[in-house]
């Protein structure tokens, strides 16, 4: 019998992939890729070798998917940044499932450095960026390494679309 936590994690990764592909118009009504060779298709990579390359690839982001009872967001973000580097992607974020809600309500967490670099890539002032993508701040103590910005997967899909339209080609 498969590990139930592994099954839940794999399902969450697939739900994220499927939601983003649909939200970005990359699949038909049956969930099949419109163009299987499009570099913008959101994918779950096969894990190969010693270096983890993240759970979901959504160019230019690596998404570290977590379906856990007690999120350790700063730890997840450190992991996402390392995995983005391993995969050669500029941005790594953590996507945490919210129990008993639709996938679009999943929480997408950005460390402050990643959030700033994405904001700068879009050429947006801080307030406009935070408002457009419905970000909220978690500022825990004086250690900025534990600070992060959060939005929902639905708003992240808009951010991803905007970023792809302005700067990043596959």
Collapsing DSSP to helix, strand or coil, 36 comes out as: coil
pLDDT at 38: 95
pLDDT at 7: 83
Provide the number of structural domains found in the chain: 1
Residues 6 or more apart in contact with residue 16 via CB below 8 angstroms: 42, 55, 56, 63, 65, 95, 103, 106, 153
Grouped pLDDT means (10 residues each) for the chain, 170 residues: 79 97 96 95 84 92 95 94 95 96 97 96 96 94 86 98 79
Beta strand 148-152 with 91-96 is unpaired
pLDDT at 48: 67
pLDDT at 144: 79
> HEC string of 103-160?
HHHCEEEEEHHHHHHHHHHHCCCHHHHHHHCCCEEECCCCCHHHCEEEEEHHHHHHHH
pLDDT at 146: 82
| Rounded-to-integer distance, Cα 43 and Cα 16, Å | 9
Confirm if 114 and 91 have CB atoms less than 8 A apart.
yes
pLDDT at 123: 94
Confirm if 20 and 42 have CB atoms less than 8 A apart.
yes
Q: Give residue 97's domain range.
A: 4-166
């Amino acid at each position: 019998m498969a590990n139930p936590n592994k099954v839940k994690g794999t399902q969450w990764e697939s739900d994220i992939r499927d939601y983003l592909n649909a939200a970005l118009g990359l699949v038909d009504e049956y969930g099949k890729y419109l163009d299987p060779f499009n570099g913008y298709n959101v994918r779950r990579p096969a894990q190969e070798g010693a270096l983890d390359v993240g759970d979901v690839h959504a160019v230019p982001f690596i998404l570290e998917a977590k379906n856990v009872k007690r999120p350790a967001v700063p730890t997840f973000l450190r992991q996402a940044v390392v995995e983005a580097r391993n995969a050669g992607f500029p941005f790594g974020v953590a996507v945490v499932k919210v129990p008993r809600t639709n996938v679009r309500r999943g929480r997408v967490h950005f460390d402050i450095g990643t959030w700033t670099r994405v904001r700068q890539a879009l050429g947006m002032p801080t307030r406009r960026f935070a408002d457009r993508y419905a970000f909220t701040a978690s500022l825990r103590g004086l250690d900025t390494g534990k600070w992060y910005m959060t939005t929902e997967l639905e708003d992240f899909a808009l951010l991803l679309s905007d970023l792809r339209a302005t700067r990043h080609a596959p």
